[in-house]
Amino acid sequence: MLSKDQTLGKYQIIDRLGAGGFGSVYLAQDRLLNRKVALKIPHHQADEQGLLLEPRIMAALKHPNIVELITVEKKDDTFFMVLEYVDGESLDKLIRRERCLAPGRALEIGMDVCAAIGFAHGRQVIHRDLRPANILITREGVAKVTDFGTSRFLEMQRDGFARTRIGSPPYMAPEHFRGRAVFQSDLWSLGITMYEMLTGTVPFYDADPIKIAQSFQNTPVVPPHLRNAAVPRTLSEVVMKALAINLGDRYLSAQEFLKALQGLKEGMTRETRPVGTAILAAHLNTPGQGQRVPANTQQRLCRFCYRPLPRMAVTCPACGEKNPT
């Protein structure tokens, strides 16, 4: 574990951003270029070929909705990845704070993530661990997918699926539990993520992954609009199609899923706004259950939490952030 102000080559550690089963991520200052970056340091440093799997995948993924890999380095016998630093927060933290997101905001995030996944799939990369903790939201409201540590190049001319069951059970598709993850499995994970944004919870959760898999097979998922009356039925139906058990009933590709999401957005009002503060149609801009924004009424939204701002307010009463006037 690295400590504050410790140096690793030209990088000076500022803070620890998080840790998982595969490694730790630190905020650091590039002292030569005078910019902040994120350093991802794997826990297990012995397998050099294994360490290169994730950066080789990320090197092929240059997209505005995917966290950028800057380079890989090895200093003081420590291998690490240098990544774009996203000045914002993870989607799971946003959901925990807000409990559930306004449907319009969930739709925007879903579109960003779907575009990223479609780009990755076009380069034969399957993510396999898509969930709110691996989606970062910038201060401008842009969603960026990160953590490709469990990703693989899916060679369709061979088996056509990834055999291992690596992933996060509440977000794993039924076929993923069976060790047969395909590109559509990522779409299921995005569907679960959108479900959680809209309702504040995943459809099923249990400490035993087998029970989660059995629940999806044996118990119908309650549609989002029945859990949260603020969710439009049309949006609920799109999410539910992503959660179809049979692959033939699910979206066949990320492009098809994205097209469905874009179709919903086209039903919004035509008023525009700066990135991260759009004015949405009333039925898609509901902050929570029972709180509706009057139709065709333009209202300022906080650029950080997307709650309505009181007239002439600078500081958001919901999240405490200052908004430009």
Q: Which amino acid is at 254?
A: A
Tell me if residue 129 is catalytic.
yes
Structural domains of the chain, ranges and CATH numbers in brackets? 9-84 (3.30.200.20), 89-265 (1.10.510.10)
pLDDT, tens digit only, all 325 positions of the chain: 788 989 999 999 999 998 876 789 999 999 999 999 999 998 878 777 778 888 888 998 999 999 999 999 999 889 999 999 999 999 999 999 999 999 999 999 999 999 999 999 999 899 989 999 999 999 999 999 998 876 675 554 355 555 555 668 999 999 988 888 899 999 999 999 999 999 999 999 988 989 999 999 899 999 999 999 999 999 999 999 999 999 999 999 999 999 999 999 887 543 334 444 333 444 455 444 433 333 333 456 655 544 567 777 777 776 566 666 5
Model pTM score: 0.78
Report d(CA 88, CA 15) in Å as an integer: 14
Which one of the listed residues 5, 15, 112, 129 is annotated catalytic?
129
Task: Give me the sign of the Cα torsion angle 137, 138, 142, 147.
Answer: negative
